[in-house]
């Protein structure tokens, strides 16, 4: 909008008078420090500590052990666990089959058959003969001979009484032999029955024991394999940790080289910056630019009165003779240089058209007596 404007003026004041000699001393000291150090190299030692060579050798030794002996130990443990687990699993399968056969077996028939076989062994007859030998011998040598001698002495050698007596004696010895045989065979049967039952219990106990052993083998094998996995993780973790430590050692060497280079490369610029911090980057007095707003000219005031009512700025395209487009507002609206049709004597103005503002911010445009005005309190492009 025409009329009015701003003026810019440079102003400067010196530091406070009592402060000035101290500032001059500080500047002189700062320059002396800068001059004394600007041609030196500054600190030349290390900036980052690296490992002792003995420590590095020890780390490499541990790494090599973990990759050879340590790994072999883990492999052996895993293989042993796998072998135990496999053999235990196979034995468990065999025990399972044995228990099924044991459960399906007719043990009553087995016991009877075993007892009969034990009772019918050929040695029982020898035992009967040995047990009744004396009785049979007495019968044959004494009893029968006595009966015969008595019968002959009485003249009854061929009598029925002698025959009956001999028969009775013969039956008695036969009963003795039969009873002895039955007793021995009964005892043998019972013993065979007990032995068969004992074998049954022994077989069951053996199967159960083998099952427990097989179960223990699989459990121990499983534990060994799990331990091997844990140890494998430990070995790999050890290798990884040592690799990181060795890598950190190499990185520390690179960091140290870079720190030395960076220190040397920036030493003088940092020194200069410290010097400048004292003498150059502070306004110990005060200086700067100030702006003052000038009062609009009489012509501009007249134009303002004609072109605005309060905060309303007349910018209706129908009231203007547009000269040219000269730019854009921050919102992208075109700015035009123009004169008012009914007040060309007021000169040229630059502003957007109220019609354009109405499209993006309609509340900022008001109509007064059929003319569009921009409310500069709601939209100020200036």
Residues 249, 120 share a domain: yes
In total, how many domains does the chain have?
Answer: 2
Displacement of CA 358 from its chain's centroid (Å): 63
Residues 371, 235 share a domain: no
Reported as a pLDDT band with limits 50, 70 and 90, residue 343 is confident
- Min mean pLDDT across 16-25, 132-141, 253-262, 331-340 is at 132-141
Residues 266, 324 share a domain: no
Q: Residue 277's domain spans which residues?
A: 8-286
DSSP-assigned letter for residue 68: I
Which DSSP string do the residues of 106-136 spell out, in sequence order?
-HHHHHHHHHHHHHT-THHHHHHHHHHHHHH
301, 365 in Cβ contact below 8 A? no
Residues 316, 209 share a domain: no
Residues 305, 281 share a domain: no
Residues 212, 146 share a domain: yes
Which pLDDT value is given to residue 127?
78
Reported as a pLDDT band with limits 50, 70 and 90, residue 58 is very high
User: At which of 286, 309, 325 does a domain end?
Assistant: 286
Instruction: Please tell me whether the overall predicted TM-score, pTM, comes out greater than 0.95 for this model.
Output: no
In a domain, 60, yes or no: yes
HEC assignment per residue over 159-217: CHHHHHHHHHHHHHHHHHHHHHHHHHHHHHHHHHHHHHHHHHHHHHHHHHHHHHHHHHH
pLDDT per position as a tens digit, 87-124: 989 999 999 999 999 999 999 999 998 888 888 877 77
Residues 365, 244 share a domain: no
């Amino acid at each position: 909008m025409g009329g009015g404007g701003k003026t810019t003026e440079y102003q400067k004041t010196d530091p406070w008078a009592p402060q000035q000699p101290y500032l001059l001393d500080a500047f002189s000291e700062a320059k002396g420090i800068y001059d004394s150090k600007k041609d030196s190299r500054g600190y030349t030692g290390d900036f980052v500590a690296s490992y002792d060579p003995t420590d590095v050798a020890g780390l490499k030794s541990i790494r090599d052990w973990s990759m050879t002996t340590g790994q072999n130990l883990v492999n052996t443990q895993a293989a042993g666990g796998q072998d135990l687990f496999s053999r235990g699993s196979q034995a468990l399968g065999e025990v399972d089959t044995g228990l099924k056969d044991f459960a399906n077996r007719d043990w009553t028939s087995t016991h009877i058959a075993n007892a009969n076989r034990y009772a019918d062994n050929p040695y029982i007859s020898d035992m009967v003969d040995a047990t009744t030998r004396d009785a049979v011998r007495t019968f044959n040598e004494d009893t029968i001979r006595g009966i015969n001698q008595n019968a002959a002495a009485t003249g009854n050698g061929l009598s029925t009484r002698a025959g009956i007596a001999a028969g009775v004696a013969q039956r008695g010895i036969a009963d003795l032999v039969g009873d002895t045989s039955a007793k021995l065979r009964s005892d043998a049967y019972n013993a065979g029955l007990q032995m068969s039952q004992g074998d049954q219990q022994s077989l069951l106990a053996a199967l159960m024991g083998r099952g427990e052993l097989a179960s223990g083998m699989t459990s121990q094998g499983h534990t060994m394999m799990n331990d091997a996995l844990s140890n494998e993780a430990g070995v790999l973790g050890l290798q990884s940790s040592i690799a990181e430590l060795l890598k950190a050692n190499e990185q520390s060497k690179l960091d140290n080289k870079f720190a030395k280079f960076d220190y040397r490369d920036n030493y003088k610029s940092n020194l200069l910056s410290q010097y400048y911090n004292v003498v150059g980057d502070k306004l110990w007095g005060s200086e700067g630019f100030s702006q003052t707003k000038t009062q609009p000219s009489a012509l501009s005031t007249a134009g303002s009165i004609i072109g605005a009512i309060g905060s309303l700025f007349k910018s209706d395209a129908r009231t203007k003779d547009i000269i040219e487009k000269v730019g854009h507002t921050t919102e992208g609206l075109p700015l035009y240089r123009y004169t008012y049709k009914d007040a060309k004597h007021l000169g040229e103005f630059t502003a957007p058209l109220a019609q354009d503002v109405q499209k993006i911010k309609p509340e900022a445009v008001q109509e007064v007596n059929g003319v569009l005005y921009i409310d500069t309190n709601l939209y100020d492009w200036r």
